Structure 1
Amino acid sequence: MAATPGGGKTVAKGQDLRGFLRIGVAVTALGAGAASAEPSSPPSDIVVLGAPLARPESDRAYDSVVIDRARLTGDASGRIEDVLGDVAGLQQFRRSDSRSANPSAQGLTLRALGGNASSRTLVLLDGVPITDPFFGYVPFNALSAERLSEIRVTRGGGSGAFGAGALSGTVELISAGRDALPPLAANASYGSFGSVQVAATAAPDVGAGYIAVSGRYDRSDGFYTTPESQRVAATARARYRDWSTSIRAVAPIDELTELQASASVLRDDRTLRFKGADSSTDGQDASVRLIHRGSWAVDAIAYLQTRNFTNKVISATTFRMTLNQRDTPATGLGGKIELRPPVGDAHLLRIGGDVRRASGELFEDGYNATTGALTLRRNAGGNQTTAGLFVEDEWKLGDLVVTGGGRVDRWSIADGFLRERNPAGVLTTNAAYADRDGTRATGRAGARWQVAGPLAIRAAAYTGFRLPTPNELYRPFVVVPITTQANADLKLERLRGAEAGIDLTPLPGVSLSATAFTNRLEDAIANVTIATNVRRRQNVDAIVAKGIEASAALRHGPFSLTASYAFNASRVHASGNAAQLDGFIPAQSPRNAANATFAWAPAKGPSLSATVRRIGKQYEDDLQTDILPAVTTVDGVASLPVGHGLTLVARAENVFDVNVITRNAGGSIDYGTPRTLWIGVRLGG
Structure 2
Amino acid sequence: MLVGDRVLPDRSAFAVSLVAVAWSGLAGTPALADTAGDAAAGADQTIVVTGRGLDLPPAAAAYDRVELPRERLEQTGSGRIEDALSAVAGFQQFRRSDSRSANPSAQGVTLRALGGNATSRTLVLLDGVPQADPFFGYIPLSAIDPSLLSAARITRGGGTGGFGAGAVAGTIELLSAGPDELGVAQGSLLADDRGDTDLSASLAPRLGQGFAVVSGQWDRGEGFWTTPLSQRVPASVKAAYRNWTAGLRSVAPLTPEIELQARVSAYGDKRTLRFAGADTTSLGQDASLRLVGRGRWGFEALAYLQARDFTNIVVSSTTFRPSLNQYATPSTGWGGKLELRPPVSAEHLLRLGADWRAASGTAFEASLNATTGAVTSRRAIGGRNTDLGLFAEDDWTLGVLVLTAGLRADRWAVEDGNFTESNAAGLVTTSNAYAPRTGWDLSARGGAVLHLSQTIALRGSAYTSTRQPTLNELYRPFTVFPVVTRANAALGNERLAGFEVGLDLTPIPALTLGLTAFDNRVRHAIANVTIATNLRERRNVDAIHARGIEATAALRLGKVSLDGSLALTDAKVEASGTSAALNGMRPAQTPKVAASATLGWHPARNWALSLTLKHVGAQYEDDLQTDVLPAATTLDAHAELPLGSGVALVFRAENLTDRMVFTRNQAGSIDLGAPRTVWGGLRVKIG
Which interval holds the TM-score relative to the shorter structure?
over 0.9
Where do 5+ consecutive residues of structure 2 fail to align? 1-29, 35-45
What is residue 367 of structure 2 aligned with on the other side?
Answer: 366
Offset, 1:53? 1.2
AA of the residue aligned to 2:492: K
Which letter does structure 1 place at the counterpart of 2:174?
L
CA separation in 2, counterparts of 1:569 and 1:46?
Answer: 50
How far residue 640 of structure 1 moved from its aligned partner, in angstroms, is 1.1
Task: Please give the alpha-carbon distance, in whole angstroms, between the structure 2 residues aligned to 1:424 and 1:88.
Answer: 52
Aligned to 2:483: 482
Paired position in structure 1 for 2:39: none
Shift of 1:372: 2.6
Could you tell me which residue of structure 2 aligns to residue 466 of structure 1? 467
Task: Identify which range, 537-546 or 45-54, moves more after superposition.
Answer: 45-54
Distance in 2, matches of 1:233 and 1:535, equals 30
Q: Distance in 2 between matches of 1:221 and 1:147?
A: 26
**Matched residue, 2:87:** 86
Paired residue for 1:261?
262
Summarize deviations over 1:476-514 as a string: whole Å, max 9, x none: 112233221111111110110000000000001100000
Counterparts in 2 of 1:462 and 1:46: CA distance versus 1, 3 Å: farther
Aligned partners of 1:49 and 1:252 also within 8 Å: no
In the aligned structure 2, how far is the partner of 1:159 from the partner of 1:683? 42
2:289 alignment counterpart: 288
Answer whether contact 2:202 2:214 (CA < 8 A) is retained. yes
Q: Which residue of 2 aligns with 1:40?
A: none
Paired amino acid for 1:56: P
SS in structure 1 opposite 2:179? coil
Report whether the alignment pairs 1:187 with 2:210: no
Alignment-derived partner of residue 429 in structure 2: 428
Distance 1:377 1:605, change over 3 A: closer
Superposition map of 1:395-414 within 5 A: 395-414=396-415
What's the counterpart of residue 606 of structure 1? 607
Decide whether the 8 Å contact of 1:481 with 1:665 is kept in 2: no
Q: For 1:159 and 1:79, locate their aligned partners in 2 and report how far apart those are by CA, in whole Å.
A: 29
The aligned counterpart of 1:110 is 111
CA contact (8 A) 2:576 2:583 kept: yes
Whether 1:171 aligns to 2:198 is no
- Asked if the contact 1:66–1:150 (Cα under 8 Å) also holds between the matched residues in 2, the reply is yes
Name 1:277's counterpart in structure 2.
278
Distance 1:442 1:181, change over 3 A: same
Q: What does residue 678 of structure 1 align with?
A: 679
Checking the alignment, whether the CA contact within 8 Å between 2:77 and 2:653 is kept in structure 1 is: yes
Once the two structures are TM-superposed, the CA of residue 605 in structure 1 deviates from its matched residue by 5.5
| Alignment pair present for 1:308 and 2:305 | no
CA distance in 1, matches of 2:424, 2:591: 44
Counterpart check, 1:249 vs 2:250: yes
* Counterpart position of 1:35: none
Distance 1:498 1:433, change over 3 A: same
What is the distance in 2 between the residues matched to 1:519 and 1:48?
A: 39
Letter in 2 for 1:116: N
Q: Secondary structure at the match of 2:182?
A: coil
Give the C-alpha shift of residue 47 in structure 1: 4.1
> Matches of 1:487 and 1:518 in 2, distance apart?
29
Alignment of 1:544-559 (within 5 A): 544-559=545-560
Give the superposition deviation at 1:659: 0.5
1:53-132 aligned at under 5 Å gives the runs 53-132=54-133
Quick one: distance in 2 between partners of 1:680 and 1:481? 43
**Residue 287 (structure 1) shift:** 0.2
TM-aligned CA deviation for residue 603 of structure 1: 4.4
Q: Deviations over 1:95-115 (max 9, x none)?
A: 000000000000001111122
Measured in 1, the distance between the counterparts of 2:570 and 2:555 equals: 28
Q: Deviation of residue 55 (structure 1)?
A: 1.1
Aligned AA (1:466): R
> What is the DSSP-based 3-state SS (H/G/I as helix, E as strand, rest coil) of the residue aligned with 2:84?
helix
Partner of residue 389, structure 1 = 390
CA distance in 2, matches of 1:357, 1:73: 33
What do you get for the CA RMSD once the two structures are aligned? 1.4
Report Cα offsets for 1:191-240 as digits up to 9, x if no partner.
Answer: 13221001001001112211100000010111110000000000011000
8 Å CA contact 1:161, 1:391 repeated in 2? no
Residue type of the alignment partner of 2:188? N
Q: 2:15 aligns to what? A: none
How far off its partner does 1:560 sit?
0.1
**Aligned-residue identity in percent:** 57
Match of 2:627 in 1: 626
SS at match of 2:85: helix
- 2: distance between equivalents of 1:193 and 1:584? 41
Assess if the C-alpha contact under 8 Å between 2:157 and 2:498 holds in 1: yes
TM-score (norm 2): 0.93
Checking the alignment, whether the CA contact within 8 Å between 1:109 and 1:115 is kept in structure 2 is no
| 1:383 Cα offset (Å) | 0.4
2:33–2:255 contact (8 Å) kept in structure 1: no
SS of the residue 1:506 aligns to: strand
Q: 1:326 to 1:149 in 2, by over 3 A?
A: same
2:22 corresponds to: none
Q: Is the 8 A contact 1:96 1:662 kept in 2?
A: yes
